[in-house]
Chain A
Amino acid sequence: EVQLVESGGGLGQPGRSLRLSCAASGFTFDDYAMHWVRLVPGKGLEWVSGISWNSDRRRYADSVKGRFTISRDNAKKSLFLQMNSLRIEDTALYYCVKDKYRSSWGEYFQHWGQGTLVSVSS
């Protein structure tokens, strides 16, 4: 069974940093692209960032480009999101998401974690 468990969320101040982690199990982690998608209160779902299986491709939403960095450690079956220069509008529930197929690159978001809550406030 695929399991994705996020951690690292919490209360952050504007301009500060947080690092999210996602521990994966139940599948061959280094076969799949992975993503972060957030649920913004009152606004809905927003794709944040994606990384290919071997880290050679990384993509970001314009709203986080230059501030967030996605990475992965295939040996530890883990996905990360380094969030710098936090803004109030980054407040959201952040989901770790797995692609449906080994060959996928952000087409189908099949498996989702339960999310980790990030709250940015002064």
Chain B
Amino acid sequence: DIQMTQSPSSLSASVGDRVTITCQASQDINNYLNWYQQKPGKAPKLLIYDASNLEAGVPSRFGGSGSGTHFTFTISSLQPEDLATYYCQQYDNFPRTFGQGTKLEIK
């Protein structure tokens, strides 16, 4: 199975800050990577697909980059409503696997 390692596991930032989360795959997955946001008590939401493509309706402050084994998710200017846990997910192979999540708190 492909292991996805996210860091950090949690972080606290202020409104307006730039936030970066990384995801490392245990093997080359090309750009077959997605990012999801899960707000407390809600279902996950697809934000970024194919490593860097913004899902329709998602604010442009969210972004993604990377290829191969190293990927980055960025919020350019943190907003209060961005309080959530963020997950990366690979689809290069079955089983589809997720990172362990990054819990983002607002200072």
With a CB–CB cut-off of 8 A, which chain B residues contact A61? 95
**Residue contact A45 to B43, C-beta cutoff 8 Å:** no
B62: Cβ under 8 A from any A Cβ: no
Contact flag A108-B46 (CB < 8 Å), given A62-B1, A62-B95:
yes
- How many interface contacts (CB-CB < 8 Å) are there between A and B? 58
Residues facing B in A96-122 (CB within 8 A) are 100, 106-110, 112-115
Say what secondary structure dominates the interface of chain A.
Answer: strand
**Residue contact A100 to B46, C-beta cutoff 8 Å:** yes
A118 vs chain B, min Cβ distance (A): 16
With a CB–CB cut-off of 8 A, which chain A residues contact B97? 47
Contact flag A109-B94 (CB < 8 Å), given A44-B100, A62-B1, A95-B43:
no
Residues facing B in A44-64 (CB within 8 A) are 44-47, 50, 59-62
With a CB–CB cut-off of 8 A, which chain B residues contact A108? 34, 46, 49, 91
A-B contact pairs, 6 of them (CB 8 A): A44-B99, A106-B94, A106-B96, A107-B91, A109-B36, A114-B43
Closest 3 CB pairs of A and B: A112-B43, A47-B96, A44-B101
- Residues of B participating in the A interface, judged by any CB pair closer than 8 Å: 1, 32, 34, 36, 38, 43-46, 49, 55, 85, 87, 89, 91, 94-101
